[in-house]
Amino acid sequence: MRLPWLACLVFGSVLTPTLLTAGNEDPELNVNSRYTVETVIVSGDGWSTNLAADHDQKISSGLRSEITALIGSKLNPAVLDDLAVRLRREFQARAVNHRLLRGTTPESVRVVFEITQKPARFDVSVPKFLYANRQGWTGAVESTTTVHHNAFTVGLVSDGDDLAERYTGLLARYENTRLGTDRVHLRFDFDDYHEQWNGATRTDLAVPPDETSGIYRSRRNYEPAVIFVLARPLTLSVGASFQSFQEETPGTPVGAANAVVSRLDYQHRMEDSDYRQGIDAGYSLRAGTRVLGSDFAYARQRLNFRYTLTHGKHVLKEEVQAGLLTGRAPLFERYVGGNSTVMRGWDKYEINPFGGNRIVANSVDYRYGIFQVFYDTGAVWDAGQAAPIRHSVGIGLRQASLFLAIAFPLREGRADPVFLMGMNY
């Protein structure tokens, strides 16, 4: 030890009661602790958010609440140090520094947290994982390497839940989160899947109806898109999807479903001391057009709205979805009900073996702590046919993104429940 005297002083310092209780910095030692925090700004590489005004999703809800709680109280430098450490963990940042600026009114200060990201990061995630006793396993794993504003993702997926088909294969994605400005992102998706089909679907599609394609054994998708952050909670994505698929019938030429794709998303969070509310709304349009060399001309529109109200351990969630598909579209564009998110409890192969071109669905979830009950209703049908409305109820346990549930279709006769278990649904 080169400087033993320094060790003595440091020991002496950290062992004093004030420092033991106040973290890194005793408020009494900093002359600025007499000032009131006017606002808190968190800024990263090319972005910033004012906690007094913005409610964006960059910072987790719990941490955001704690940072927001600084506003209006006397400055406590030790708390700033602790929050900087937590921000650093949450953003996996290289460093988080904080500084004070004069407020707009005398005796007030603005706190600025500056996040310095690591030049390169590597993450592995499981964006979805599900077991349903009727559909089997669904899972995806992705690894993302981020270099500055560029994220490169590769992953594997096997999904028997989303669509009428089970698609298994790999995905790759490139995303630039700052195309000149942090309000413009560039994204490029590539998917390569092989398909498996349920017996009921095969039977129903023995003679494909006019409004959709036949069964295919593989498909490949290239999808470039530009995302515009129109306003903090509102984003618009515009791009194109070039999807080709090989039908199972030998000698059939490769089909193409090339479409213009766009999506508008709105997210808003409102918080006060007792209640937290969230609104998520989206509208998407996929328009297959022969201008892009597509064999299918169609327009697929989908609208979704979700409202979440949280009060202590109580969480109430209401979600509405509606979809309209016109023209002749391939099977993967058709709507599906009776899976893990829409009309839970029903068997999708029993009610719509190859989906429908219309959907209306509603879902109400109530949670208290880890306990959950839900009620789903909705219909998936084809234009010109009857739209049977189906209902289901379920109970379960949910902790963070993990859930375990059993759902019952409400119908006469025997009710075969569906068991669901997974995460990120």
List interacting residues with another protein (CB under 8 A): 1-3, 5-14, 16, 18-20, 23-26, 28-32, 35, 77, 81, 97-102, 106-107, 109
Distance in Å, CB of 286 to another protein, minimum: 50
Distance in Å, CB of 14 to another protein, minimum: 5
Instruction: Give 25 or 66: the residue with its C-beta nearer to another protein.
Output: 25
CB distance 307 to 275 below 8 Å: no
Instruction: Give 95 or 147: the residue with its C-beta nearer to another protein.
Output: 95
Residue 144's Cβ-count burial label (10 Å; 0-12, 13-18, 19+) is: middle
Instruction: Give 99 or 202: the residue with its C-beta nearer to another protein.
Output: 99
Distance in Å, CB of 59 to another protein, minimum: 21
CA 137 to CA 421: how far, in whole Å? 10
Instruction: Give 6 or 395: the residue with its C-beta nearer to another protein.
Output: 6
CB distance 352 to 401 below 8 Å: no
CA 334 to CA 387: how far, in whole Å? 15
Distance in Å, CB of 44 to another protein, minimum: 17
Rg (CA), the chain: 26
For tokens 């089997």, name the residue.
136
CA 135 to CA 148: how far, in whole Å? 40
With left for phi above 0 and alpha for psi between -120 and 50, is residue 400 left, alpha or beta? Answer: left
Instruction: Give 4 or 384: the residue with its C-beta nearer to another protein.
Output: 4
Distance in Å, CB of 112 to another protein, minimum: 9
CA 14 to CA 168: how far, in whole Å? 57
311 to 357, 367, 425: CA distances (angstroms): 38, 10, 21
CA 228 to CA 236: how far, in whole Å? 5
Residues 66, 71, 73, 77, CA torsion sign: positive
Distance in Å, CB of 399 to another protein, minimum: 25
CA 261 to CA 10: how far, in whole Å? 61
Instruction: Give 26 or 247: the residue with its C-beta nearer to another protein.
Output: 26
Pure H helices in 311-366: 348-351
Instruction: Give 20 or 147: the residue with its C-beta nearer to another protein.
Output: 20
Distance in Å, CB of 71 to another protein, minimum: 16
Instruction: Give 14 or 230: the residue with its C-beta nearer to another protein.
Output: 14
Distance in Å, CB of 36 to another protein, minimum: 11
